[in-house]
Structure 1
């Protein structure tokens, strides 16, 4: 009986915990132009390692809903629907397919190269959503938007992927060793 309860409670609790971690990391951003460097994607990548693609994506959706109702959890401690419909809102939406694609690849493969490729493809899709919305909202040409909103972020996002590839499995392993992860 205790195992059944534990196996149901853990995923719910960890989904909430990772949404909270995203709420803490998401607002921490470095303004470098119209799109700030955010740690939201790092939180998502780590969530995918700890929770799998479904619950990892769900934890991000919880975070997004918290921000949509006005809590200051988006970059630069902002929140509300205005942020979602503003020039950078496409990136907020783009994190959803990023989480799904990267998460499915992380779930299906233990090969680090393939996991990295999945995160790169998911992030590229996020860039596409975000850049398209930015062009629409801010009136930029695609080339100019890529120069402002994508190219400066590639090195940092690759670094966040590598950090998640190291930290995510390490945390998961420690949770399993402690008997706190349902895989145990």
Structure 2
């Protein structure tokens, strides 16, 4: 059994709460798929916490929402949100977190950016597939509703999230170095 220390448990909880906050920065659309900052938050969290803790943080967020706390976009919650048209994007965040987290261990910035974009693609694939299945539409129709309106925003915010996360990581490393030398 894996035991986590207080710092790790605190980071998992804080980042799950951060996901809840970023989920509420949302613009509802008639399609039912809102514009949110959730992918931005997943990337930020996953780079900072890497694959294990980052994935646990996203899983905690999903479980909290599934049991009924209104943490999903537009204060949605419940098992129906996971099984509904946008639930694939929520489930995809877990895959995204794992992929981004693995790549975040690299010292090569290009690899970290690659991992972030691969994670985003994985989320889109899972999200669009579930959207198509739940709404009984073709993949082409699901792409029009669940991908095309968001892709430019997500491509830009993915780069911004990587840059911010790498700067935060560098600041943390510098501060730890100062503490160790003191």
Please name the residue that 1:178 is paired with.
175
Please name the residue that 2:38 is paired with.
40
Report if the CA contact (8 A) 2:50-2:100 is conserved.
Answer: no
Report if the CA contact (8 A) 1:27-1:72 is conserved.
Answer: no
Unaligned ranges ≥5, structure 1: 1-6
Please name the residue that 1:138 is paired with.
135
| Aligned: 1:19 with 2:16 | yes
Please name the residue that 1:90 is paired with.
88
1:78 pairs, out of 76, 79, 83, with 76
Q: How far 1:96 moved relative to its partner?
A: 1.1
Match of 1:162, SS state, is helix
Report if the CA contact (8 A) 2:47-2:100 is conserved.
Answer: no
Q: Distance in 1 between matches of 2:153 and 2:107?
A: 23
Normalised TM-score (structure 1): 0.87
Please name the residue that 1:105 is paired with.
103
Q: Distance in 2 between matches of 1:49 and 1:127?
A: 19
Normalised TM-score (structure 2): 0.88
Report if the CA contact (8 A) 1:71-1:79 is conserved.
Answer: yes
Match of 1:151, SS state, is coil
- The CA deviation string for residues 84-113 of structure 1, in whole angstroms up to 9 with x for no partner, is 111111111111111111211122x22222
Q: Distance in 2 between matches of 1:160 and 1:111?
A: 20
Q: How far 1:143 moved relative to its partner?
A: 0.6
Would you say how many aligned residue pairs link Structure 1 and Structure 2? 175
